[in-house]
Amino acid sequence: PPAKYLLPEVTVLDYGKKCVVIDLDETLVHSSFKPISNADFIVPVEIDGTIHQVYVLKRPHVDEFLQRMGQLFECVLFTASLAKYADPVADLLDRWGVFRARLFRESCVFHRGNYVKDLSRLGRELSKVIIVDNSPASYIFHPENAVPVQSWFDDMTDTELLDLIPFFEGLSQEDDVYSMLHRLCTGYPWSCLGIFFAATALPPNGIDQRLLHCSLPLCLRSESAHC
């Protein structure tokens, strides 16, 4: 594709596959600057000349989820966080080379106070693109392409990623993504409400604020270490 697109041309390995765009924070992992005794990774990140340790927890079943996604789709990591944090986390998380590309904050569009992931800039046919993200504000330009997931922080009994695998196995066989994703949105009214409120900037009135805003640690959004 022309240079204006965020992704390179599809490889022979992924030809004919749909493209799944996967968020990082609170979708696959949760990170904190406060020490976590059971952290899966500890990643040093430089902020304002000082090295800070970031403690990273993996969401349950993330390994199975990523491996299966890599078999079925062209997978792209797309996060609104800084590359100096997200890149080393992705190195540790993706041991199988599932992510064909990694996109960071500079690839987002800043819109109404949120970092939005504009899927039209990927260079892929939109009817064959899916985004998996805990924040509806991230995909307000293309809500019809979204598979919403609940924000994850530390619940080790969570099974959402595991539960999604059969859905994605079915989706990989569809001609386009829209009819199946429409049925998913119908089954998750909270996600549709979150998309609506994020898009219109109306007060959510009972909708969990974490669904509407970037859920990255504050210091990785603003480069301030005060978390």
DSSP 117-149: --GGGSSS-GGGEEEEES-GGGGTT-GGGEEE-
pLDDT of 187: 58
Question: What is the rounded CA–CA span in Å between residue 6 and residue 1?
Answer: 9
| Topology given in CATH for the domain delimited by 12-31+58-218 | Rossmann fold (3.40.50)
- Contact of 21 with 139, CB cutoff 8 Å: no
Instruction: Name the average pLDDT for the chain.
Output: 85
Q: What is the rounded CA–CA span in Å between residue 30 and residue 219? A: 14
Q: What is the pLDDT of residue 182?
A: 78
Q: What is the pLDDT of residue 221?
A: 43
pLDDT at 202 over 60: no
Contacts of 12 (CB under 8 A, 6+ apart): none
Q: How far, in Å, CA of 117 to CA of 213, rounded? A: 13
Q: In this model, does residue 95 exceed pLDDT 70?
A: yes
Residue 211 has a CB neighbour count (10 Å cut-off) of: 23
Q: Is 161's pLDDT higher than 70?
A: yes
The pLDDT score that the predictor gives to residue 179 is 85
- Active site amino acids: 23, 25
Q: Does the pLDDT of residue 195 top 80, yes or no?
A: no
Write down the pLDDT at residue 190.
Answer: 43
Could you please report the per-residue DSSP string of 154-174? S-TT--HHHHHHHHHHHHTTS
The 8-class DSSP code of residue 223 comes to S
The pLDDT value given to residue 188? 55
Q: What is the pTM of this model?
A: 0.83
